Structure 1
Amino acid sequence: MKFPIGLRLNAKINNITKLGFFVTLPHHHHGLIFYKDFGDKWESAKNKYNIGDEVRVVIINNHQGKISLSLSQVNNPDLIDPTNEFKESKDFAPLVSLVEDANKKIANLKNSIELSDQ
């Protein structure tokens, strides 16, 4: 299995050290969530997670088979998941229009309810 940058997947924590969390990825590959990924919350993260916990991670580097992972960047839109079938979608105008129309209808309903209560 290839592990391209941006790929999101589940990993199982198998060791917690001073360097970070060593995890097992699918197909018996391994990776590291470096302690700096947690910033100043590293100490609390060590207490929050346990060996055996499953976490959602994103691949941030894969150099010569050494896979660097991140928990904090899982929702980073700049790390595009190459397996996401919608990665090329940039046209959100129809959705924005739909939300705006819904918000207008909600406002009208609220106004009509307030008028009927008077």
Structure 2
Amino acid sequence: MKFPIGLRLNAKINNITKLGFFVTLPHHHHGLIFYKDFGDKWESAKNKYSVGDEVRVVIINNHQGKISLSLSQVNNPDLVDPTNDFKDSEDFTPLVKLVADSTKKIADLKNSIEQSDQ
């Protein structure tokens, strides 16, 4: 399995050390969530998570098989998930417009029904 930058996936915490969280990824690959990812919340993060916990992570670097992960950047829109069907905003815009138009049409229909009932 390839692990491109931006890919979001679930990981299982194997070990918590001074360096950070060592995790297992799908297909028995391993990665590290470096302690600096937590900023000044590193001490509380060590107490919040335990070995065996499953966490949602994003790939932030993959150099020669060494996979760097982040918990704090999972929702970062600048890290585009290459597996996301809507990764290109131009592809997503028509869908958003369709939903907005549909919502307005439904509201208009409800109003016309309510007026005809009166």
Q: State TM-score, norm by structure 2.
A: 0.80
Do structure 1's residue 16 and structure 2's residue 16 form an aligned pair? yes
Do structure 1's residue 92 and structure 2's residue 93 form an aligned pair? yes
Q: Which moved more, 1:81-90 or 1:4-13?
A: 81-90
Amino acid at match of 2:12: K
Partner Cα distance (1:97, 1:66) in 2: 42
Unaligned runs of 5+ in 1: 110-118
Relative to 1, partners in 2 of residues 1:94 and 1:31: Cα closer, same or farther, differing over 3 Å? closer
Q: What percentage of residue pairs aligned between the two structures are identical?
A: 80
Q: Which residue of 2 aligns with 1:115?
A: none
Question: How many residues are paired up?
Answer: 109
Structure-to-structure mapping, 1:22-61, within 5 angstroms: 22-61=22-61
Relative to 1, partners in 2 of residues 1:100 and 1:48: Cα closer, same or farther, differing over 3 Å? farther
Amino acid at match of 1:14: N
Q: Which residue of 1 aligns with 2:114?
A: none
**What displacement does 1:93 show?**
6.2
Aligned alpha-carbon RMSD (Å) = 2.3
Unaligned runs of 5+ in 2: 112-118
Amino acid at match of 1:25: L
> Secondary structure, in 3 states, of the residue corresponding to 2:24?
strand
> Secondary structure, in 3 states, of the residue corresponding to 2:39?
helix
Partner Cα distance (1:6, 1:46) in 2: 24
Partner Cα distance (1:45, 1:92) in 2: 37
**What displacement does 1:89 show?**
3.2
> Secondary structure, in 3 states, of the residue corresponding to 1:40?
helix
Q: State TM-score, norm by structure 1.
A: 0.80
